[in-house]
């Protein structure tokens, strides 16, 4: 055999393989169509899907009866927890930023509050002193009396 004859045989075999493969694909397609149109196969598929739905419903009922969450409920809960966690992190970041701002406030910004507090402390101290002075004057007036006035009884306290 010459190399030309060998090449020709290989080409024929490749063409034959393609035709057989194409015919096999067509046959498989026709078989699948015939099976789907077959009432027995169609009803068997319907029953299988119906049984699958019934099993899923029974499983859901059992989970509800045992008060156990389903996988979808657990997934939903997981998403909500991640969302809450993300929000908490945002709140923490905002609190940290506020802390930094409070630390960077200068004495000038804090001064009005500090000045007011100092003034209130001085006023309170002065009022206590004045109260003691009035008490002392009252006791002295009761003991010695005021010239030209009748003596009065003033309770101490």
Helices (H) and strands (E) in the chain, counts: 4, 0
Residue 73 tokens read as 């409920």
- Quick check: 139 and 157 in contact, CB under 8 A? no
- Is it the case that residue 80 has pLDDT exceeding 80? yes
Instruction: With cut-offs at 50, 70 and 90, classify the pLDDT of residue 150.
Output: low
Its pTM stands at 0.33
Q: What's the sign of the alpha-carbon dihedral 42, 44, 45, 50?
A: positive
Instruction: Give the pLDDT confidence score for residue 117 in this predicted structure.
Output: 84
C-alpha R_g of the chain: 50
Residues 6 or more apart from 36 whose CB is under 8 A from it? Answer: 42
Instruction: Give the pLDDT confidence score for residue 51 in this predicted structure.
Output: 92
- Quick check: 63 and 69 in contact, CB under 8 A? yes
The string of pLDDT tens digits covering residues 20-63 is: 888 888 889 888 888 888 888 888 888 998 999 998 888 888 87
């Amino acid at each position: 055999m010459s190399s030309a004859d060998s090449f020709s045989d290989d080409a024929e075999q490749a063409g034959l393989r393609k035709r057989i493969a194409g015919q096999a694909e067509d046959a498989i397609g026709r078989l699948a169509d015939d099976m789907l149109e077959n009432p027995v196969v169609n009803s068997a598929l319907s029953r299988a899907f119906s049984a699958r739905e019934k099993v899923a419903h029974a499983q859901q009922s059992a989970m509800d009866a045992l008060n156990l969450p389903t996988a979808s409920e657990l997934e939903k809960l997981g998403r909500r927890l991640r969302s809450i966690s993300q929000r908490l992190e945002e709140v923490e970041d905002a609190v940290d930023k506020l802390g930094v701002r409070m630390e960077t406030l200068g004495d000038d910004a804090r001064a009005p509050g500090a000045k007011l507090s100092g003034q209130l402390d001085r006023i309170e101290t002065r009022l206590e002193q004045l109260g003691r002075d009035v008490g002392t004057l009252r006791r002295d007036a009761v003991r010695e009396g005021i010239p030209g006035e009748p003596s009065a009884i003033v309770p101490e306290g």
